[in-house]
Structure 1
């Protein structure tokens, strides 16, 4: 068992990463049903919450079936983060997470996200301010450092633990790397091996298969792993990893019927959470991932993104299922999407 304050997670839990424009309630529901043990909202600007920005407030929506679930915020001002933490607490999540990892220029260069990695003292003050402002367990997600010359995660981990956080997730890249190259988990392992560290340490970066999850579990000794880009369009990654860790067996890939069922569920949840127009628009960018591997699917995808009525989309999904009813999708490595350039921001 892994504990984050009063939250009890199974041994070696699987976490869904906070991803802007991806990890909203409809998507989180799919990941939860496929085995995610702890999930996070899209990251939320502390300044936006304080200004009562509608978009930011909408991201606070959480539902009982998601628990345990954490709300992630970001910012570079102690007072703003404290006020945001108090606002978050009213919505009653299970924990509050601080984003010190987003590398995107408009966040990092504004002194938030991974930008705080350049000033460890500020990071500690921001964290301490959040811990003081809320009774929720406070956790942090961050990176190895700003660049190769400042990989300060070992110092950061100790100081954040001293500031009161109750778990730490480390992405195995620096800010300068963005999402390029290969994540280096060796420093994550050093943090975990530090006898001073008593809080759970979760690793993040590049996990895209059950075999890789087991390898990294054994090699680096982390308490659990956080999965981000590999889950986009493939929420089955959680059940596949869990099954492999428990049995050593590789599950078959989802059938066409399962893929279509997830498309339908995601669409209906998106429409119910937002509206028909918004839900349909948001789903248009997701069909390609769900239907990947089906031959000659391009024309169907083109039709899906032009439809603007739920019933019409559902009817076309039924047609796709019938067309490919006997087709078996071959297993291939799950593509790690270059999310920074193709989809938005990774929290």
Structure 2
């Protein structure tokens, strides 16, 4: 049975979602994840205040491409009117859905009344969500956490109230805001939400899924409708295809060859340059090299070269050298 968001977004039997990650989930990164099997992706989160003030960085994050569909634009903010206006602007970019971030734990978001901060004021969260739903014809979904801290794990109530006003899906990260990204994600409350007989919308689990084994075990144990993968996909977009292969065949797919690592890294680099220009594209790609070639012995010398070069032709030459030097390393 297919998982659906709204009437028109069919995600298949058990979708794998790419989590929205600030400074990571840009179009070049989304391209390589889509090519490797991500079923639903989101933009980086976009400030509602930035959108309504026409900030260049916020507007650029609205860039979406046909090959990415289905794609959601994720927005965040602390002011209901601003969120409503930002929704109208985001809708004009023609995504498939609008997603609201009620989960970001970082200080400059949560301590300004946005992101996970709304978990401390569910009435305001409900009012804000209503305003967003009213401002668009697109399905509205939400990403959030278990609660603000261990004493206020209110996700059960949040899920019911947000579904009641019309959200079409809910992604839950199995930590509280107080935990940030520390400790282990607790999916037991996600399972309780999914098992709530009142809940009929898709529930997606998020947090710590970094292997085929976890994805397979947690799919069964926690009964979610799909899994959202974040940090584990950075430099390893193959995680989507490996999990899908296991679900379909019950067998493990071999990891990427060195040629595949180089190929994906190169595509990511060139897409980055195409989207941001050569200088910025090369600079922002530097954070990804270590992850693309993680686990390859004696790689430091090449990584240092990659993060120091300023010319795409020279970077391509180093990638060619990596491909031939480490040909036998899987």
What residue is the counterpart of 2:183 in the other structure? 181
State yes or no: 1:76 paired with 2:78: yes
Contact 1:43/1:71 (8 A) holds in 2: yes
What whole-Å deviation, never above 9, does each CA across 1:11-57 have from its counterpart, x for those lacking one? 11000000001010000010001000000000000000001000000
The equivalent of 1:287 in structure 2 is 289
The 5 A counterparts of 1:294-309 are 294-309=296-311
Matching of residues 216-231 of structure 1 within 5 Å:
216-231=218-233
Residue number in structure 1 paired with 2:266: 264
**Tell me, which stretches of 5 or more residues in structure 1 are unaligned?**
329-347
Give 2:4's aligned residue: 3
Shift of residue 224 of structure 1?
Answer: 0.3
Q: What secondary structure, in the 3-state scheme, does the structure 1 residue paired with 2:67 have?
A: helix
Shift of 1:295: 1.3
| Cα displacement (A) at 1:327 | 2.0
Instruction: List alignment gaps of at least 5 residues for structure 2.
Output: none
Cα distance, 1:294 vs structure 2: 1.3
Deviation at 1:306, TM superposition (A): 1.1
Per-residue deviation, 1:177: 0.4
Identify the residue that residue 336 of structure 1 maps to in structure 2.
none
Question: SS where residue 252 of structure 1 aligns?
Answer: coil
Q: What is the aligned partner in structure 2 of residue 244 from structure 1?
A: 246
The structure whose RCO (Cα within 8 Å, separation 6+) is larger is: 1
TM-score by length of 2: 0.99
How far did 1:292 drift? 1.0
Q: Secondary structure at the match of 1:150?
A: coil
Report the number of matched residues. 328
Which residue is 1:314 aligned to?
316
Detail structure 1 runs of 4+ shifted over 4 Å in the superposition. none
Q: Deviations over 1:194-225 (max 9, x none)?
A: 11111000000100111110111101111001
* Contact 1:211-1:244 within 8 A present in 2 as well: no
Indicate yes or no: 2:256 matched with 1:254. yes
Distance 1:327 1:247 in 2: 26
- Structure 2 residue 113 is the aligned partner of structure 1 residue 100: no
Question: What is the CA deviation profile of residues 295-347 of structure 1, one whole-angstrom value per residue up to 9, with x for unaligned ones?
Answer: 1110111111111111110011101111111223xxxxxxxxxxxxxxxxxxx
Partner of 1:140: 142
